[in-house]
């Protein structure tokens, strides 16, 4: 049985702890359109726990302002640096908890799935993803940060997958 999706507004998240990309898309007249995007940036010199707290507060503000119906979050991929992977994993935990506490349905996608959905090629490069996001949402590539483009790519992938995902 299909779950009720209120306004089909999807928040996409590209996890991190220094810069967290986010993007919001909404279904209008059968198409996914851009609502907003940006990056949450935390201070490199701030204590790590303060950075996680700032991530939580800023993500909460975004959720309250844009009222998404669900969220897509990119899964972590292999990191060469274990220390970085641990910190991104902890930040991702904060992200997932914040989304859960907001009552959002959460869907997770691997980078390969996002690249495949947007370009048809699972090994697409950053520039190709950014270009497809720009074309799909009728946005200019200029000034679109990689992290925000990745988050919009996750949102588009999630939105395009909603009907299938809601039936599981």
70 forms beta bridges with: 10, 105
- Percent of the chain topping pLDDT 70: 92
Rounded-to-integer distance, Cα 130 and Cα 139, Å: 10
pLDDT tens-digit profile of 107-140? Answer: 999 999 999 999 998 888 988 999 999 999 999 8
Of 72 and 5, more confident: 72
Residues assigned a catalytic role: 14, 74, 147
Average pLDDT of every residue of the chain: 91
Residue 5 pLDDT > 70: no
**Looking at the domain covering 9-166, what would its CATH class be?**
alpha beta
Residue spans of the domains in the chain: they are: 9-166
Give the neighbor-by-neighbor strand order of the sheet with 105-109: 31-41, 19-28, 9-14, 70-74, 105-109
pLDDT tens-digit profile of 26-75? Answer: 999 989 999 999 999 999 999 999 999 999 999 999 999 999 999 999 99
* DSSP helix, strand, coil percent of the chain (3-state; round to 5): 50, 20, 30
Residue 144 pLDDT > 70: yes
DSSP state of 92: H
Specify the pTM.
Answer: 0.92
């Amino acid at each position: 049985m299909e779950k009720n999706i209120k306004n089909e507004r999807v928040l996409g998240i590209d996890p991190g702890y220094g810069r967290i990309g986010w993007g919001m898309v909404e279904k209008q007249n059968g198409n996914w359109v851009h609502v907003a995007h940006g990056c949450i940036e935390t201070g490199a010199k701030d204590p790590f726990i303060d950075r996680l707290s700032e991530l939580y507060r800023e993500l909460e503000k975004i959720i309250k302002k844009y009222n998404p119906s669900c969220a897509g979050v990119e899964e972590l991929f292999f990191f060469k640096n274990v220390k970085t992977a641990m910190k991104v994993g902890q930040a991702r935990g904060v992200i997932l908890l914040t989304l859960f506490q907001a009552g959002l349905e959460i869907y997770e996608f691997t980078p390969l799935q996002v690249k495949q959905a947007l370009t048809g090629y699972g090994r697409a490069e950053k520039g190709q993803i950014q270009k497809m996001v720009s074309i799909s949402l009728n946005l200019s590539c200029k000034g679109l940060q990689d992290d925000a483009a990745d988050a919009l790519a996750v949102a588009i992938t999630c939105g395009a997958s909603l009907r299938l995902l809601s039936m599981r």
